């Protein structure tokens, strides 16, 4: 079932250590087949160097395991809630990459200080609040619901990333490959922003006109960055 999607998700998961986004087993990638309503995700706690495409687990949007001999990632319920709430996404990534996680542990969103950030994400990358009280009873599900709550009134396509306070980052995209790409960008932007504040503690976000120019030249109706296919 969904053999090609399993291969894609396997390759996307293998990109996490390739790009230095995970240590040991600290991360996962999933991707959804919108036609069937099933998504494929990495199995829980398995070493990357031992993973194979056939190890990927198939889930439905009710949280049922459809296929796979292993338990799915412990973050599966978070991925599920994102797929339900954000209908235009096709892939989700969670890591504990050090720079993005440092901002999450500090409980701060990442301001847009320059054009590298603006090229990919429109404005500040938000940091969701920490879960409270009985929300911990369904921790992973409520993490997903909290991300959705954080994006009320925001464009999840324009800002395909979030930080979960005291936890770490999630990113998404039109497919698993783009979600990984956004995770790499997020980590680089997080590092640049932290170093920027070290160099100049009084730094302010980039002018809005500059942010608009760089975001919309790549993503706007009249975008002109790159090649016409």
Which positions are annotated as active-site residues? 119, 225
| Distance set, CA 5 to CA 2, 44, 138 (Å) | 5, 18, 28
Torsion angle of C-alpha atoms 98, 79, 86, 127, degrees rounded to 10: -30
Residues of the chain by 3-state class (helix, strand, coil), percent to 5: 45, 15, 40
172, 91 Cβ separation under 8 angstroms:
yes
Pairing of strands 161-164, 127-128: parallel
């Amino acid at each position: 079932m969904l053999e090609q999607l399993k291969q894609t998700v396997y390759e996307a998961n293998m990109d996490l250590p390739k790009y230095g986004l995970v240590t040991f087993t600290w991360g996962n990638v999933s991707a959804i087949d919108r036609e069937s309503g099933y998504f494929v995700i990495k199995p829980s706690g398995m070493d990357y160097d031992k993973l194979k495409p056939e190890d990927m687990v198939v889930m439905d949007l009710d949280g049922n395991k459809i296929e796979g001999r292993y338990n799915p990632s412990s973050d599966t319920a978070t991925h599920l809630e994102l797929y339900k709430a954000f209908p235009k996404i096709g892939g989700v990534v969670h890591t504990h990459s050090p720079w993005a996680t440092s901002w999450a542990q500090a409980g701060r969103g990442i301001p847009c200080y320059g054009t590298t950030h603006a090229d990919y994400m429109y404005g500040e990358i938000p940091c969701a609040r920490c879960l409270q009280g009985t929300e911990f009873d369904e921790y992973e599900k409520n993490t997903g619901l909290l991300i959705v709550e954080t994006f009320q009134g925001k464009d999840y396509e324009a800002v395909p990333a979030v930080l979960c306070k005291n936890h770490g980052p999630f990113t998404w995209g039109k497919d698993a490959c783009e979600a990984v790409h956004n995770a790499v960008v997020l980590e680089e932007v997080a590092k640049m922003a932290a170093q920027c504040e070290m160099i100049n503690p009084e730094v302010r976000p980039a002018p809005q006109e500059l942010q608009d120019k760089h975001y919309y030249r790549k993503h706007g109706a009249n975008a002109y960055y790159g090649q016409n296919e």
